[in-house]
Amino acid sequence: MIQLIRGFKDILPEEIAVWQHIEKTARSLFADFGFKEIRLPILEHSELFKRSIGEDTDIVEKEMYTFSDGKRGMITLRPEATASVVRSYIQHKMYAKDPVQKLYTIGPMFRRERPQKGRYRQFYQIDAEVFGVNSPFIDAQIIFMLVTFFNRLSITDLETHINSLGCPECRPRFQKRLLGLITSVKSELCIDCEKRSTKNPLRVLDCKVPTCKKAMEDAPSILDFLCKDCDNHFEKVKALLDKRQVSFVVDKQLVRGLDYYTRTAFEIQTSLLGAQNAVAGGGRYDGLVKTLGGPAQPAIGFAIGFDRLVEIAGINKEDFISKPDIFIAALGEKCIDTAFEWVCTLNIKGVKCEMDFSGKSLKSLMKKADKLNAKHVLIVGEDELETRTVTLRNMSTKKQVSIETDSLVESIQEVLK
Ligand code: AMP
């Protein structure tokens, strides 16, 4: 039998209610905060990710699903959404209409990571990006929006980590100092860190390998190297979060795995997931729009790990399973014919109504109604059709009412009110 590809998964009908509930909560959150949806292709030119995420990142170095598109060159299954949103912002000159754009998108991302709990090769993200706003107010606002989202889902076991990654003016001074430390502890670092230390020393701070973590314990804090503007920006973000009573931890180790971040970086972590403890992450990327060929417009965004959210949301699936309002137990061919008409009419009117077409006995039809958790069963036999009166049974109270078939739809709607 052909099986799923390793690291991929099916989201089955019995799980979908939770996904839909989370998605609905996200969409209403975005509407409340003035975000508009954008839907983007899953395939992009590989160049887009190389130039945005960075050649020396794990994602671009070893995790992308890249293949040839013949003469059109190399294409990649998107490993994240930000690069595509930026490409679209530039390509459609959204900035000309209004540089300030608040966009969100929900969909699958692909990374060839080592599969484990909470880490898949196709996973889903809820992604939000804001373009054209330099002010620290927007940094605070989108962190506040994220926290509001988790509150609305009643997820409480969370910690918001924030840091500033500085800007091209102040970051090099920090990188230089960091490189000094890295060189002195090089023998203690993992192979990846050894390789990335010269090209991308910041990433060493982010490494989860215990020996690297230990070696970098006394690393300097980038916050001590920020230029005046970056420092003021970060102080304001913190003050605004305090004012909104959003609790957070300043985490000097937080650097995020992608090259394009500047200034504010943040991550929402939970203890409920084990090793893969991040449920959402994001930050500012003030240089990316220009890097990708657009005008110099600041930007900030985040991505929520949808799959991880489903795992920690603790939503009772039963609460979301759709139950039929009515199950019609039709006995015999003639009754099935008539019941079919009723089902169609009731469905048009928005009544969740189902039936079985196989002509089974009343006993097995009642069993089926039970299995479906139908709220009411309408029993239709030849006698009922003759007397033009059917019986509607409430499955939880066991109460039965007689309904005239001539006014069947109206009577059912009345009962369901
Ligand atoms: P990133 O784009 O790496 O900043 O990731 C943002 C969020 O997406 C993370 O905080 C995770 O919750 C989620 N995520 C990233 N990679 C994976 C993966 N391989 N499987 C499942 N979720 C992921």
Look at 13-17, 129-133, 405-409 and tell me which has the smallest mean pLDDT. 13-17
User: What pLDDT, on the 0 to 100 scale, is given for residue 316?
Assistant: 73
Asked if residue 123 belongs to a domain, the reply is yes
Asked if residue 202 belongs to a domain, the reply is no
State yes or no: pLDDT of 397 exceeds 90.
yes
371 and 249 in one domain?
no
Neighbouring CB atoms inside 10 A of 156's CB total: 9
| Residues pairing with 268 in the sheet | 160, 280
In the chain, % helix, strand, coil (3-state, to 5) comes to 45, 20, 35
Of 326, 331, 360, which is closest to residue 345 (Cα–Cα)? 326
29 and 47 in one domain?
yes
User: What pLDDT, on the 0 to 100 scale, is given for residue 193?
Assistant: 86
State yes or no: pLDDT of 202 exceeds 80.
yes
Count of domains forming the chain: 2
Q: How far apart are CA 189 and CA 212, in angstroms?
A: 5
287 and 326 in one domain?
no
Asked if residue 198 belongs to a domain, the reply is no
246 and 153 in one domain?
yes
Mean per-residue pLDDT over the chain, rounded = 94
Give the residue, out of 307, 309, 311, with the most ligand 1 atoms within 8 A of its beta carbon, to mutate for a pocket test. 307
Domain residues for the domain of 342 are 322-415
State yes or no: pLDDT of 321 exceeds 90.
no
Asked if residue 209 belongs to a domain, the reply is no
Look at 179-188, 260-269, 374-383, 405-414 and tell me which has the smallest mean pLDDT. 179-188
380: confidence class by pLDDT, cuts 50, 70, 90: very high
Which residues have C-beta atoms less than 6 Å from ligand 1?
Answer: 80, 111, 113, 118-120, 123, 125, 257, 278-281, 303, 305, 307-308
| Residue at a domain's end among 317, 337, 365 | 317
127 and 51 in one domain?
yes
Q: How far apart are CA 417 and CA 410, in angstroms?
A: 11
272: confidence class by pLDDT, cuts 50, 70, 90: confident
State yes or no: pLDDT of 275 exceeds 90.
no
**Contacts by residues 331-340 (CB-CB < 8 Å, ≥ 24 positions apart):** 331/359, 331/361, 331/362, 331/365, 331/379, 331/380, 331/381, 331/382, 332/359, 332/381, 332/382, 333/359, 334/382, 334/385, 335/380, 335/381, 335/382, 335/384, 335/385, 338/380, 338/385, 339/378, 339/380
| Residue at a domain's end among 294, 317, 340 | 317
275 and 158 in one domain?
yes
Q: Which atom of ligand 1 lies nearest, measured to the CA of 282?
A: 4
236 and 372 in one domain?
no
User: Residues with Cβ < 8 Å from 198, sequence gap 6 or more?
Assistant: 179
User: What pLDDT, on the 0 to 100 scale, is given for residue 140?
Assistant: 98
| Residue at a domain's end among 282, 317, 352 | 317
132 or 273: whose pLDDT is higher?
132
255 and 114 in one domain?
yes
Q: How far apart are CA 377 and CA 374, in angstroms?
A: 7
Q: How much distance in Å is there from the Cα of 305 to the middle of ligand 1?
A: 5
Of 237, 255, 254, which is closest to residue 246 (Cα–Cα)? 237
What's the CATH number where 346 sits? 3.40.50.800
User: What pLDDT, on the 0 to 100 scale, is given for residue 58?
Assistant: 85
Interval 97-113 mean pLDDT: 97
User: What pLDDT, on the 0 to 100 scale, is given for residue 110?
Assistant: 98
Cα of 267 vs its chain's centroid, Å: 14
Asked if residue 117 belongs to a domain, the reply is yes
User: What pLDDT, on the 0 to 100 scale, is given for residue 399?
Assistant: 94
Q: How far apart are CA 376 and CA 327, in angstroms?
A: 6
CB 131 within 8 A of CB 82: no
144 and 35 in one domain?
yes
pTM reported for the whole predicted model: 0.92
89 and 39 in one domain?
yes
What's the CATH number where 163 sits? 3.30.930.10
409 and 308 in one domain?
no
State yes or no: pLDDT of 57 exceeds 90.
no
